[in-house]
Structure 1
Amino acid sequence: MGLPGKYPFDAGIHPTGYTTKVWTMRQLAGLRTAASTNERFRYLLGLGETGLSLAFDLPTQLGLDPDDPQAEGEVGRTGVSIATVDDLAEVFREIPLDKVSVSMTINATAPMLLAMWLVVAEESGIEPAALRGTLQNEMLKEFLARKAFVYDLDTSMRYSLDVLEYCVHHLPGVNPVSLSGGHAREAGCTRALEVACGIADAETYLQGMVDRGLDVDTVARRFTFIFGTHMELLAEAAKFRVARSVYATRLRERWGAVDERAMRMRVQVNTFGSALAHHEPLNNVVRATVQAIAAVLGGVQSLHVCSFDEAHQTPGALGARIALRTQQILAHETDLARYVDPLGGSSVIDAVCDEMTTEVEEWLRRIDEHGGMIGSIRSGWLEAQVEDQAYEAAGPSVGVTDAMRSDVEQQVLRQERHEPLEPVRRSVARRACTQELKALRETATSGVNVLPALIEAARARATIGQMRTALEPPQDAR
């Protein structure tokens, strides 16, 4: 067993744990329109949230303008609709971007949203270098699990690496990628494969940046990770010890990292939506709390707790408040943050960690055998492993077979229903930005980093759909 803040970081990446600073409480939010999302953000900040996390609707994730026929029926459904930089400016209205950390759950269109974010900062008088936050920007898990990709795998990876490269050189406070094993877990894989996917993804991005001439320590210092927590509290808490230790060991021994900051795995956790039940939804408060405790005992850096009503809808105000209050109660009304590494020395945790470490390392060996993460995805082998494991996965069981919810629960859900989720219909006023889009297209074709040209296009009010089209690779390059 290691010591907190010391290699290989199984006991945590900070020597004082949460005793000097608790985790960042970052509740994911994105409600239909920019104005309603801004209202929710200011509501959560007023309740004591310490970091913003922005969810986008599917058209925004796929680079479709809200008036594109392909976006019909999906605008604003799973998050906020963003077409131009002005929409993003409205999301952050009256929110000091130089003082609040922002996480953006965006992948295929992460370069476009980064460009818009920088322009919003500039036009509000904030130096982009002062921005703090995280971009998900993780295309490997999209091809493996979520499938919300726009371009082919090679092109998608190129643009992801462009974001990393730009942030490393120009945005010291922005984490340019959040490596994800959690999405494969939500798709049904085991926790050992979840950890292996996150680490294998990291090594793929690391190799891509080394190929661009950057050194391992510089790049790895900017990595963050996304995992989830499920209902087996002790095993889930142990998972983070294993992930940190295996990752740190591989960074030092396989990649030659010498800076310990580069070997520290910084983790954002989302409690798993797949653990929530549609029936008796108030039971989900307990489920989310158990998963949150697992994350805290695991020593993570940032946490989102699912709302009890997420099996029904985008979280209502009550659900969002209870989820945030859950984190605050754990931090301030229990002794979870009072001790550094509270699970250290437990024979049960040590045994679970030993077994899980062997499983993670075996999965990493098999991924390497199949051509690394990219080869494993291209061949379909890894997706098949996830699908096979999904058949064995168990979902919620308590209360899910009851035919009727209690009167109290029905009343709560009625009160928490949003306005009827009729399709949002938005027309987009397009400005003439011919020169900026032409320059963006030429940049994409030339192979140089697309971010400077994207920033100019965003500043000229190009829509996300226009930018997506300009970045399309030539047919003969696919």
Structure 2
Amino acid sequence: MGVPGRYPFDAGIHPTGYTTKVWTMRQLAGLRSATTTNERFKYLLGLGETGLSLAFDLPTQLGLDPDDPRAFGEVGRTGVSIATVDDLAEVFRDIPLDQVSVSMTINATAPMLLAMWVVAAEESGVDPAKLRGTLQNEMLKEFLARKAFVFDIDTSMRYSLDVLEHCIHHLPGVNGVSLSGGHAREAGANRSLEVACGIADAETYLEGMMARGLSADAVARRFSFIFGAHMELLAEAAKYRVARSVYARRLKERYGATDERAMRMRIQVNTFGSALAQQEPLNNVVRATLQALAAVLGGVQSLHVCSFDEAHQTPGELGARIALRTHQILAHETDVARHVDPLGGSAVIEQITAELTAEVEDWLQRIEDHGGMLGCIRSGWLEGEVEELAYRDGGPSVGVTDELRSDLEREILRRERHEAPQAVERTTERRECGAELARLREAALSGANVLPALIDAARARATIGEMREAMTPEDSLPAAAGTGTV
């Protein structure tokens, strides 16, 4: 077993673990309009949340304005609707952007949302260099698992790298990409493939940035990772040990990293929605708690706990509060945060770790043999592997039949569905920003980094749909591709 805070970081990236600072308690929120999302953020901050996590509706994810006919029926349904910088500014109204970390679950339109975030900060009197947080901006997992992409894979990767490059040079507190294995797991991948996908994605982005002249140390210092937590408590806790150690060794041995900050895998965990059941929803409190405990025992840096009602609706206030209290009870009413690497030295953990490490390395070799992550996505081979694995997982086994549901629970579910606020349809006020959009179009066609032009367009109140249109390659399909949820 390793030593906490020392290479290869299997025992954790900090020598003091949670004894000096607990994980960031970050609950995903995004409710229809900017105003209702602002209210939910203030509610969660008032309960003790330590980091904001913003979810966007499907039209925003795909670069469609809320009055676009293709957005009909989807505005505000899976998150907040954002059309212009004014909407994002309303999300953060009275929330000091230089004092709170923000995670944005946004991918295909991450460049547009980053530009709006920068402008919203400027106009609120905050130096954008003081922004803190993470953009997901992970297009490889979109093509592999979620399918919420807008541009072709090469253009998508170029814009993702533009975001990462801009953050490295101008936004020292913002991680420009969060590498995701968790989405592949939700799509059906097993535990070892989940880890392998996250690492293979990271190496693809790293190689892309190195081709732009940056060092492995400069780039990898700004990486963060997203994994999930499932129900096998010890195996899931061991998974994070394996991910950290395999990643650190590959960064050092394959890419010549010398800065330990670049070799430290910083992990955000979301408890898995696929482990939740619509029936007997209060059982999901137990499921989410066990998954959260696995993440904490695994020494992760940031955590989102699913709400018990998340299997059938956007979390209500009660569900969000219980999820946040789950964090706080684990951190303050148990002893799991009082010991550094509490599972270190366990023979069971050592055995699981050894077996899982071999499986992860085998998957990484197979991915490399198929042309790396980009090659695997283009050929469809890896997607086929994920689909095959998906058939072997039956999901939650307790509380999944109508017979197990009481009349009272059925009535509660009906009432909650009926009373759930409907999505807010609205039109977008158009402003004249032709010159800024023309400069954005020129940057997109020339191959220049699009962020400077995007920031100018956001400042001029260009809509997300106008930005997307200006950034679309001439030979691309006119319609947004793919569907998906966060």
Between the aligned partners of 1:321 and 1:412, the Cα distance in structure 2 is: 18
Between the aligned partners of 1:357 and 1:179, the Cα distance in structure 2 is: 19
Between the aligned partners of 1:372 and 1:104, the Cα distance in structure 2 is: 27
Q: List per-residue Cα deviations over 1:205-230 (Å, max 9, x = no partner).
A: 00000000000000000000000000
SS in 2 for 1:32: coil
SS in 2 for 1:53: strand
Between the aligned partners of 1:476 and 1:261, the Cα distance in structure 2 is: 39
SS in 2 for 1:403: helix
Contact map agreement 1:317 1:416 (CA 8 A) in 2: no
Counterparts in 2 of 1:325-404, with a 5 A limit? 325-403=325-403
Match of 2:75 in 1: 75
Q: Report deviation, 1:402.
A: 3.6
Q: List per-residue Cα deviations over 1:326-369 (Å, max 9, x = no partner).
A: 01000000001010000000000000000000000000000000
Gaps of 5+ in 2: 479-486
Q: Report deviation, 1:405.
A: 2.4
Counterparts in 2 of 1:30-429, with a 5 A limit? 30-403=30-403, 405-410=405-410, 412-413=412-413, 416-417=416-417, 419-429=419-429
Gaps of 5+ in 1: none
Between the aligned partners of 2:249 and 2:400, the Cα distance in structure 1 is: 42
Change (3 A) 1:47 1:412: farther
Match of 1:436 in 2: 436
Q: Report deviation, 1:410.
A: 4.3
Contact map agreement 1:9 1:241 (CA 8 A) in 2: yes
Q: Report deviation, 1:421.
A: 4.7
Between the aligned partners of 1:88 and 1:417, the Cα distance in structure 2 is: 28
Match of 2:484 in 1: none
Contact map agreement 2:151 2:476 (CA 8 A) in 1: no
Q: Report deviation, 1:425.
A: 1.5
Q: List per-residue Cα deviations over 1:286-325 (Å, max 9, x = no partner).
A: 0000000000000000000000001110000000000000
Q: Which moved further from structure 2: 143-152 or 415-424?
A: 415-424
Between the aligned partners of 2:415 and 2:170, the Cα distance in structure 1 is: 46
Between the aligned partners of 2:321 and 2:415, the Cα distance in structure 1 is: 14
Q: Report sequence identity in percent.
A: 79
Q: Report deviation, 1:407.
A: 4.7
Contact map agreement 2:251 2:257 (CA 8 A) in 1: yes
Contact map agreement 1:176 1:222 (CA 8 A) in 2: yes
Q: Report deviation, 1:57.
A: 0.1
Residue identity matched to 1:202: A
Q: Report deviation, 1:106.
A: 0.1
Contact map agreement 2:177 2:223 (CA 8 A) in 1: yes
TM-score, with structure 1 as normaliser: 0.98
Contact map agreement 1:229 1:272 (CA 8 A) in 2: yes
SS in 2 for 1:183: helix
Residue identity matched to 1:103: S
Between the aligned partners of 1:13 and 1:291, the Cα distance in structure 2 is: 21
Between the aligned partners of 1:393 and 1:167, the Cα distance in structure 2 is: 39
Q: Report deviation, 1:429.
A: 0.7
Match of 1:10 in 2: 10
Matched, 1:453 2:456: no
Residue identity matched to 2:355: E
Between the aligned partners of 1:102 and 1:26, the Cα distance in structure 2 is: 9
Contact map agreement 2:140 2:201 (CA 8 A) in 1: yes
Change (3 A) 1:408 1:30: same
Contact map agreement 2:32 2:423 (CA 8 A) in 1: no
SS in 1 for 2:281: coil
Between the aligned partners of 1:418 and 1:328, the Cα distance in structure 2 is: 31
Between the aligned partners of 2:140 and 2:460, the Cα distance in structure 1 is: 31
Q: Report deviation, 1:393.
A: 1.1
Q: Report deviation, 1:424.
A: 2.6
Q: Which moved further from structure 2: 323-332 or 403-412?
A: 403-412
Match of 2:482 in 1: none
Between the aligned partners of 1:421 and 1:387, the Cα distance in structure 2 is: 34
Residue identity matched to 1:45: L
Q: List per-residue Cα deviations over 1:106-150 (Å, max 9, x = no partner).
A: 000000000000000000000000000000000000000000000
Between the aligned partners of 2:408 and 2:49, the Cα distance in structure 1 is: 28
Residue identity matched to 1:348: V
Contact map agreement 1:30 1:37 (CA 8 A) in 2: yes
Between the aligned partners of 2:145 and 2:304, the Cα distance in structure 1 is: 20
Q: List per-residue Cα deviations over 1:369-412 (Å, max 9, x = no partner).
A: 00000000000000000000001112001111243523553465
TM-score, with structure 2 as normaliser: 0.97
Match of 2:481 in 1: none
Q: Report deviation, 1:475.
A: 1.4
Between the aligned partners of 1:477 and 1:369, the Cα distance in structure 2 is: 31
Contact map agreement 1:73 1:424 (CA 8 A) in 2: no
SS in 2 for 1:224: strand
Q: Which moved further from structure 2: 224-233 or 407-416?
A: 407-416
